[in-house]
Chain A
Amino acid sequence: MRGRYIGEFEQMVLLGLLQCRDQPYAPEIRKVLEERASRPVSRGALYRTLDRLAGKGYLEWEFEDPTPVPERGGHPMRRFRITEAGRDALRASRTALLSLWDGVESEVERA
C-alpha cells in the first residue's frame, strides 16, 4: 500500500501533465504548474521529479526528433505520457484525500 502513495509535488506534476493533454515536454508542464498552481517551480525539482516518477513507472516518455526546433541545438525532445499505474496512483491519492476531506470542509472554510 505504501508504495502507491505519491507526494504532493508528484501529484501536481502528474496533474499538470494531464492538463497539457497532448504529450507535453517538460517546460510546458512547468508553465502549466506555475500558471495554475501559482507557485514557482524550479527546473531542477521538476526534472528530478519527472525522473523519479518514471522510475516508479507512473509516467513514460518518448524521444522526438529535434530537427523542427533548431534552437535546441540538436538535442532531442522528450514528450511525457502518464501510464496506467500513474492514473491508478492519482486515483488512489484522490480517494484518500477526498475521504479525509469528508466532513471537514466546513471546518477549514470557516477558519
Chain B
Amino acid sequence: MSSHPLPPATAERILAWFLRGNPAGRCVLGDLRQEFVALSGARTPARARRWYWSQVFGIGLRYMGLPIVIRPYVTAHRRPGIAYGAAENVRLAVRTLRRRPVFTGAAVLTLALGIGANSAMFSVVKEVILSPLPFAAADRVVQVWDRAPDASPASARPMSYMNFADYRSGNEVFSRMVAFTGAAVYRVEDEVLESVRSRYISAEFFEMMGVRPFDGRLFRPDEDLQGVVNVIVVTYEYWQRELGGEDVVGQVLPLQRFVGVRGAPWVQSGYEIIGILPPGVDLPPGLSSTGYGSLAGTDIFLPFGLSFGGPAIRGIYRLRVLAELRDGVTPEQARANLQGIAAGIAEEDPESQAGLTVEVAPVVEQPRRAYGAALGFLWAATALVLFVACASVSSLLLGWGVVREHELAVRGALGAGTRRIFGQLATEALVLAGFAGVLSLGLAYWGTALIKALAPPGMHRLDEIGVDAGVLGFTLVVSLVTVLLVGLWPALRGARRRSSEALKEAGARGGTMARTRSLRVLISAEVALSLVLLTGAGLMLQTFWNLTGVETGVARDALLRVDIQRLGPALSKHRGDEALIALFQLLRDRVEAVPGVTSFAMADIGPLTGRETTGGDITLTDRSSADNAHAMADWNFVSPGFFKTLGVRFLAGRTFDEDQWVATRSAPPPAASDPPDYSAVANPLEVVISDAMARKFWPDQNPLDQIFHWGRQDPDILRETLGVVRWAREWDPRYPPPSPLKVVGVVTDVRDRLEGESGPTYYTLNVSWGTRLFVRTSVEPAGMAEVLRREVEAVDSEITVLRVRTIDEIVSELSADSRFRALMVVSYAVMATLITCLGLFGVLTFAMAQRTREIGVRVTLGATRRDIARLVLGQGARLAGVGIGVGLLLVVWMTRYVSSLLYGVVALDPLTLAAVTALIFGLALFAAYLPARMAMRVDPIEALRKG
C-alpha cells in the first residue's frame, strides 16, 4: 500500500476540512487519491502535487461557494426556501450602503485614508529598516569602533591601523575582520586629472559580501599587507561608464594617489586592473547616524596594503572596521573579548589611548539607529490616524446601528436570528473595509511617491521604496484588523439587542443617550488622539522653524557659497603654497570684478557643511599632560577676507595679519635623522578662535595672546624647548614641529550643523585645501549663480564648480529631515482632526435627531432657544473636554519618546499645549454648532406630533 505515491498531506487535510459534514466526503478523498496515483505515473511528482492542490481548492470553493471567512454566517443563516447565502448578504449590504451615500462615502474615505497612510509608511519602513544589508551573513556582521572616553557610545570614531591589527590578530570571536578607508585618487588622462571615487578595502570584504568577480579576480589576502602592489578592482558601472566596457582586465590605468609621504605626498604610477565587480553590487550604506563611512558610490577599489602611508601612530584614526562573528558568538561576548585587547593597548600607549573603549554593534541595527527614532515617531503618528479613522467609522456604524434598531427589531420579529443580524452587520463592515482597502491602495501608491519626494536625500535605500507584494499583504492584514475593530463592535451590539425590548423602546422613543455611551467613549478617544497628534505636529513645526532660523554665525542675506572640486596639491598646476596663493588672488580679482559682488573669500570647510565636527588634537603649553589628554579643536583654513565676507562678528581682538600665510598642515612629523626646522618657534602664527574655543579652554582668562600647539604633544617638552632651552635641545621626533599658535582674535561661533552645539574651532590663513568660495553680493544673490560659475571656471580649466547655493538654500537642505517630519506629522494631524470633527458632528447630529421630541417638550415648557443651544453645545463641550484631558495625559506620557527629535522647544511646551487645546476645543464647538442650530429650529408642535 505504501508503494503508491501519496498526495500532499496538508492539501488532503484541507480538503477533508472542506468536506467535513458531508456523508460522502471520504469517497471524494478516495477518488482523488486514486486519480492522483494514476496521474503520478504520467507526470513529475511536483506537477502531480500541484494538480492535487488545484483540485483541493477547486472542490473546496464549490463546496464553500464563497471565501472561507464568511462561511460561518452562511451556514448559520441558511433557511429552507430562502437563499440566505453570503452573496445575498453582500448584495444586501451593498444595497443598504448605497441608500446612504454620504455615510458610505465618509466611512470609506475615512478608512481608506487611515489604511493608505499606513501602507505608505510601511513601504518606507520595510525598505529602510527591515531590508537586509548586502552581506552574505548579514545577521552576523558587526561594526567595530574605538571610542574615546568622553565620546557618546554611538559616535563611531574611525580606528587606527595599529589598533585594527591588534584586534584582528588577538581576537577569538571573529571569523573575519575587515577594514576600509577612503583614498584620494585622480585618474591621469592627457595631463588632466580627474577625481575618482575610491576606497582601500580588505581582501576578505568582498567574500563577506558574497561577491564574485564579473571578470578577472578580486584581491588576495597577501595584498592586504603593506607593500606596493599596484592593482585595482573597478565596479561594473565605472567600467561601462569610463572604460567603455572593453576588455580591460590586465590593462594598466595611470592614477595619481595621495600617499602622505613628506616631500612627495602625491605619487603617479600605473595600476593594473585585475578584476571587475558584477553589475549592481549593493555596497553597504553609511553604517551609523554619525556618517561612519560608506562604500556606496565607489568607482575603484585599491588593495588595503596600499593604504599604509605615513607614520604608524595609534592616534591617527582612519579605518572603518567590520567583522563577522563566529557561530554562536554574541556581540556582547565579542565586545568583552576586544575590550581585553583594548586594555592592553591603553596600557602600552597611555598617552593617546588611555581609557580606550571598544564598541561592537550588529550592522543590521545601524539603519535602525539612524532613522529609528524619526520613523518610529511617524509610524506611531500613522497608527494613531488609523485608530482615529477606525474609531470614527465605528462610531458612524454604531450611530447608524442605533438609528436602525427599529429596522433590525422588525427583522428580528420576522424571524431573523441573532446570528443572521450579526452576519448582515458584519458583512456591511466587510464591504466597507473592502472598498476602503481598494481605495487605500491607490492612496498608498500616491502617499509613497509623496514620501519619496519629501524624504531627505541620502536616506538609506530611498530609491527602492515602492508599494509591492509585502505592502499589499500588509494592507490586507490592516484591512482585516480594521474590519474586526470597526465591524464587530456595532455588529455585536446590533445582534445582542432583544427584539422585543428594541421594539418597545423604538416605539417609545426615549432614553437613547443611555445606550450611546460607547459612542461617546469613541468620540472622546478620537479627541484625545487628535490632541496628541496636533501636539506632535506643533512641536515638529516649532523644531523646524527653530532650525531654519538658527543663529548660524554668518550674515545670511546675500551670501553665496560656491563649492568647487578640491584644488589641493593634486592638480597638475597650482602645486605648492605659493601657486595656490596666486590662484586665490586670480579668483578674487575675477570674482570681485563681477558687478554686484562686494567681497570674496575661500575656505577649506566653511559653515553649514552638515558634518559633525570632531576636531583634531591640540596641546596647551600651560597645562599638564592629563589636562591636555582630550583637548581637541577643529582647524579651519581660510583666506584673507573670510570673516568680512561671511559677516562673522569679532567678539575680541582682530583678524590675523593677512600676509602671514600658514604652510600646509599635511606635513608628517620629521624622521629622526631629519632635524626639525624651529625657526618658526620664535615667531608664532596668528590664529583666530571661536567663542566656543575661548569658553572651553580659557573660561576665566583673556584668550587673546594665549599660545597653543597643533597635535598631541608633550607639554613638558614644549615648555622646555620654547621657554628655557629654546630649540637647542633635540626635539622628540614623535611629535609634530612645535609651531606655536597665538590667539589674536575671538569670533562668534559659526555652525557646521543646525542642531547641537558648535565645537571649538580655530582659523588660520591658508588656501591649500580650499574647496569653498564665498561671495557676498549687493544684489539678489540667487540670479548670480551662472555668472559666478562661468567666471570661476574661466580662471583655470581644471577648476570645476560643483554647486552654487545661497546660505538660505543650504539651511533649507540641512533642515530637510526636520521639514520632512514636520510635514508628515502636520498632514497626519490635520487628517486626524478633520476625521474627529466629522465624527463629533455626526454623533451630535444623530443625538439631536434622537432627542427631537424631548426638545419639543422642553420648548413647550418654556425653554428658550439659548437654553436649547446650551444643551447641545454643552454636550459637545463635555465630550471634547474629556478627550482633551485624556489627550494631555497621553502627551505627558509620550514626552520622553519625542525629546530627541526636537530642537529649541521642550516636549511639554506650554504654549503649544495651550494652542492645541484651544484649537481642538474650538473645532469641537464648531462641530457642535451645526446640530445646535438644528436643535434651536425644532418646531415643538411638529416634534411632538412626529413622536
Can you name 15 A-B residue pairings with CB atoms under 8 Å? A25-B31, A26-B28, A44-B63, A47-B28, A71-B33, A71-B34, A71-B37, A72-B31, A73-B1, A73-B33, A75-B31, A76-B26, A76-B27, A77-B27, A78-B24
Encode contact with B along A40-52: 1 for CB under 8 Å, 0 otherwise. Answer: 0011110110010
CB distance from A66 to the nearest CB of B (A): 6
Per the bound structure, the CA–CA distance linking A51 and B24 in Å amounts to: 9
A57 CB within 8 Å of chain B = no
- Across the interface, do A76 and B30 meet the contact criterion of CB distance under 8 Å? yes
**Which residue on chain A has the smallest CB distance to residue B38?**
A71
Instruction: Report the separation of the CA atoms of residues A66 and B22 in the bound assembly, to the nearest whole angstrom.
Output: 19
Partner of B34, one of A47, A51, A63, A72: A72
Residue of A with least CB distance to B64: A44
In the bound complex, residues from chain A placing their C-beta under 8 Å from that of B37 are 71
The contact of A75 among B29, B35, B59, by CB within 8 Å, is: B29
Q: How near does chain B come to A105, taking the closest CB pair, in angstroms?
A: 35
Count of chain B residues with Cβ under 8 Å from any Cβ of A? 23
> A26–B34 contact, CB under 8 A?
no
In the complex, which residues of chain B have a beta carbon less than 8 angstroms from the beta carbon of A71? 4, 33-34, 37
Checking B1, B30, B34, B59 against A43 with a beta-carbon cut-off of 8 angstroms, the contacting residue is: B59
Across-interface contacts of B31 in A (CB, < 8 A): 25-27, 43, 72, 75, 77
B17 to nearest A CB, angstroms?
A: 15
A44-B59, A61-B24 in contact; A27/B33 too (CB < 8 A)? no
A44 near B30 with CB under 8 A, answer no
Q: Which of B6, B22, B28, B63 contacts A73 (CB 8 A)?
A: B6
Q: Name the interface residues of A24-78: CB closer than 8 Å to any CB of B.
A: 25-27, 42-45, 47-48, 51, 61, 63, 66, 69-78
Q: How many of chain A's residues have a CB under 8 angstroms from any CB in B?
A: 23
Q: Is the CB of A78 within 8 A of B35?
A: no
Interface of chain B, helix or strand or loop or mixed?
helix
Contact of A42 (CB < 8 Å), options: B27, B29, B58: B58
Partner of B63 from A48, A70, A75 at Cβ < 8 Å: A48
A51 neighbours in B (Cβ, 8 Å): 22, 24
Indicate whether B61 reaches chain A with its CB closer than 8 angstroms. yes
Residues of chain B within 8 A of A70, CB atoms compared: 1, 4
Contact between chains at A43 and B33 (CB < 8 Å)? no
Beyond the given pairs A27-B31, A43-B55, A43-B59, 6 more chain A to chain B contacts, judged by CB atoms under 8 angstroms and listed by A's residue number, are A42-B58, A73-B6, A73-B29, A75-B30, A76-B27, A76-B30
Please, how many angstroms separate the alpha-carbon atoms of A61 and B26 in the complex? 14
A45 to B26, CA, bound (A): 17
Contact flag A44-B61 (CB < 8 Å), given A75-B26, A78-B24: yes
Whether A43 and B32, one on each chain, are in contact in the complex, defined by CB atoms closer than 8 angstroms, is yes
Residues from chain B with Cβ under 8 Å of A66 in the complex = 30
* B60 in contact (CB, < 8 A): yes
Asked whether A72 lies within 8 Å of B24 as measured between CB atoms, the reply is no
Q: Which residues of B contact A72 (CB under 8 A)?
A: 30-31, 33-34
Contacts of A45 in B (CB 8 A): 62
Smallest Cβ-Cβ distance to A69: which chain B residue: B34
- Of residues B24, B37, B55, which shows the largest number of chain A Cβ atoms within 10 Å of its Cβ? B24
User: A27-B34, A51-B22, A75-B33 are known contacts. Are A44 and B60 too (CB-CB below 8 A)?
Assistant: yes
**What CA separation (Å) do A72 and B28 show in the bound complex?**
10
Name B's A-contacting residues (CB within 8 A).
Answer: 1, 4, 6, 22, 24, 26-35, 37, 55, 58-63
Complex contact A43–B27 (CB within 8 A): no
A-B contact count (CB 8 A): 67
> Closest approach, in angstroms, between the C-beta of B30 and any C-beta of chain A?
3
Nearest 3 Cβ contacts at the A-B interface:
A75-B30, A44-B62, A78-B27
Q: Which residues of A contact B (CB under 8 A)?
A: 25-27, 42-45, 47-48, 51, 61, 63, 66, 69-78
A74 CA / B58 CA spacing, docked (Å): 23
> Are the CB atoms of A75 and B60 closer together than 8 Å?
no
Residues of A within 8 A of B61 (CB): 44
**Cβ–Cβ < 8 Å partners of A47 in chain B:** 28, 59, 62-63
CB distance from B464 to the nearest CB of A (A): 42
Q: Which residues of A are found within 8 Å of B29, using beta-carbon distances?
A: 73, 75
Complex: how many Å from CA A48 to CA B65? 10
Q: Please give me the residue from chain B that is nearest to A75 by CB atom.
A: B30
| Chain A residue with the shortest CB-CB distance to B12 | A73
Q: Report the bound CA distance from A61 to B27 in whole Å.
A: 11
Nearest Cβ on chain B to A76's Cβ, whole angstroms: 6
Measured between alpha carbons, how far is A69 from B36 in the docked complex, in Å? 13
Whole-angstrom CA separation of A27 from B27 in the bound complex: 11
- CA of A71 to CA of B4, assembled, Å: 6
Chain A residue nearest in CB terms to B28: A47
User: Which of B6, B28, B35, B37 has the most chain A CB atoms inside 10 A of its CB?
Assistant: B28
Give Cα A69–Cα B1 distance, bound, in whole angstroms: 10
Q: Which of A45, A61, A75 has the most CB of B within 10 A?
A: A75
B62/A77 in contact, CB under 8 A: no
Which residues from B are CB-within-8-Å of A61? 24
Taken together as a complex, chains A and B put the C-alpha atoms of A45 and B62 apart, in Å, by: 6
Find chain B residues with CB under 8 A from A44 CB. 55, 58-63
- Smallest CB–CB gap between B21 and chain A, Å? 12
Cα–Cα distance between A78 and B32 once the two chains are bound (Å): 13
CB distance from B34 to the nearest CB of A (A): 5
Question: Pick the contact of B62 from A27, A48, A73, A76 — CB < 8 Å?
Answer: A48
Q: Is B58 touching A77 in the complex (CB atoms < 8 A)?
A: no
